[in-house]
Amino acid sequence: VPVEDQPGADQIRDSNSYSLLGYAEAAGARVELLPFASDDSELLQQLILESAARCDALILSGGVSMGIYDFTKTALGALGAEIFFERVSLRPGKPTVFARLGDTLIFGLPGNPVSVSVTFNLFARTALRRMQGDSQAALVEEHAVLNRAAKGAAGRASYLPARLLTGEDGRLVAEVLRWSGSSDFVAFTQATALVIVPESVRLLDAGAVVRIVRLPE
């Protein structure tokens, strides 16, 4: 529901529109906020069709999982969009859709706030920067020392929210934040980077040198 409304027991306030607005503008895009499609498949199709006719990229949030009200993939299919993928081996952010309708790129991102932030910065931001001619469009990987153990996920690469610090020896330190999952946007507001745990790794020990990407400011 809009941020000014009181959410019901099965609702949450819309934080995604504003985080995506900020991220997209920081990536150099001119942004138009679209109205809610709610749980209306026909309205969603109409919004996608009308928006794709006037934009280079369209970013949707929510409706990409396997629930009965997750209409994004159905709407894209009904419009004849070319769907390149609808899941990624990633935590958080597994149900992520990438498609094209005409010349417009479409990203269907998850609904949980942390998943939205991670998938936007890994996928949509890269595309937006590339469309503007940036030769280094993707987030640049660096290395940092892990301050405490970090768990991975079986079969999926994990991108864990972290805060970057400078150690006493001058080396970059990644402090993995304590967070309670992909809905914990309060913890994520403290993150300045993502620690990458490869899908083949279940546990990284404290003191390990890890790959990180900085989140755009």
Per-residue pLDDT for 127 more than 80?
yes
Per-residue pLDDT for 25 more than 80?
yes
Q: Report the pLDDT averaged over residues 109-130.
A: 96
Whether the Cβ atoms of residue 214 and residue 195 lie closer than 8 Å to each other: no
Q: Report the pLDDT averaged over residues 33-40.
A: 82
Q: Which domains does the chain have, with CATH numbers?
A: 16-131 (3.40.980.10), 141-214 (2.40.340.10)
- Give 1's pLDDT tier (boundaries 50, 70, 90): low
- Give 70's pLDDT tier (boundaries 50, 70, 90): confident
Q: Report the pLDDT averaged over residues 128-136.
A: 96
- pTM greater than the 0.85 cutoff: yes
- Give 15's pLDDT tier (boundaries 50, 70, 90): confident
Between 177 and 70, residue with greater pLDDT: 177
Instruction: Note the pLDDT of residue 68.
Output: 64
Residues across the chain: 217
207: how many CB neighbours lie within 10 A of its CB?
Answer: 10
Give the tens place of pLDDT for each residue, 186-214: 888 899 999 999 999 999 999 999 999 99
Structural tokens at position 198: 């490869």
**What are the residues facing 97 on neighbouring strands?**
108
